Amino acid sequence: MTIQWFPGHMAKARREVSEKLKFVDIVFELIDARLPLSSRNPMLDQIVQQKPRLILLNKSDLADINQTNQWLNYFRDQGHQVLALTAKDDKSVKQIVPASKKVLAEKIARDKDRGVKPRAIRAMVLGIPNVGKSTLLNHLAGKKIASTGNRPGVTKGQQWLRFGTQLELLDTPGILWPKFEDPAVGKKLALTGAIKDDLLHLDDLALYQLEIFCRYYPEQLKDRYKLTNEDLFLDFPELLMLISEKRGFRDDYERASEMLILELRQGKLGRYTLDRFEELSE
């Protein structure tokens, strides 16, 4: 299963981002804590270049805690300032401004020495679709100022948003890249909702989901669908059929596939991380 999605507004957004970088002090790169590598746009380094950057691992409340801690250390070892947060959580969101000041410490000191009057930090928010950008913006503002939705492609244009006296943000649409070199990246993005479902084969996606959970989170799969240890040794199509029967769907495997994926996205299978740190070398 090959998954690609690069609608026209994304190509336009990429051009606009490049043009407007000169107006910001720092880039907030928002990625999905369940997909710390797969949800990073490989074009971003080329677009952002040497602009200071703060990496935000959003949706950390949905991710495997042990995996998240290892990925945080990985990014820090790469020389990045990075935070794990939940866009709806006050405590984690309040870390953003202090972390930004740490990234910009040299610039702030330089401006102070030159007698430049302090002003709000100007940041650009970048990330793939459905990674939580609009949710973060709304939470910072304490009201709905950006459209949200658990589907990709909600934010279509760019807008400046001011948060108190310390931060101004330029929101941007989610930007994917034209081609996924690794088919597994497309599957992972699809599972977490970064790609529109009408572009997918849900049964193939559900089988991939079962493969991941049988390997890394078997107890969560057993608890949710009342499975035995022996059931987990079935071929994945047979396991999907068994779950379909247990849910009363009989031979409606498409409906069972849709249910599996929906419950994964709703957090009913518990915390999980699809990008495994131990597989980084692969």
Given CA atoms 187, 36, 263, 4 in this order, what sign does their dihedral have?
Answer: negative
Q: Is the separation of the CB atoms in 87 and 93 below 8 Å?
A: yes
**Environment class of residue 23 by beta-carbon count within 10 Å: exposed (0-12), middle (13-18) or buried (19+)?**
exposed
Q: What is the DSSP string of 62-107?
A: TS-HHHHHHHHHHHHHTT-EEEE--TT-HHHHTTHHHHHHHHTHHH
**Chain centre distance of CA 135:** 12
Q: Per the annotation, does 133 bind a ligand?
A: yes
| Of residues 228, 183, 230, 264, the one with CA closest to residue 2 | 183
Q: Per the annotation, does 185 bind a ligand?
A: no
Q: Per the annotation, does 174 bind a ligand?
A: yes
Radius of gyration of the chain (CA): 20
CA atoms within 13 A on the CB side of 221: 27
Q: Per the annotation, does 281 bind a ligand?
A: no
DSSP 231: G
d(CA 105, CA 62): 32
Q: Per the annotation, does 59 bind a ligand?
A: yes
Q: Per the annotation, does 61 bind a ligand?
A: yes
| Of residues 280, 255, 278, 270, the one with CA closest to residue 218 | 270
**Environment class of residue 179 by beta-carbon count within 10 Å: exposed (0-12), middle (13-18) or buried (19+)?**
exposed
Q: Per the annotation, does 252 bind a ligand?
A: no
Q: Per the annotation, does 58 bind a ligand?
A: yes
Q: Per the annotation, does 130 bind a ligand?
A: yes
Q: Per the annotation, does 8 bind a ligand?
A: no
Q: Per the annotation, does 147 bind a ligand?
A: no
Please enumerate, by residue number, every residue annotated as part of a binding site for GTP: 58-61, 130-135, 174
Please enumerate, by residue number, every residue annotated as part of a binding site: 58-61, 130-135, 174
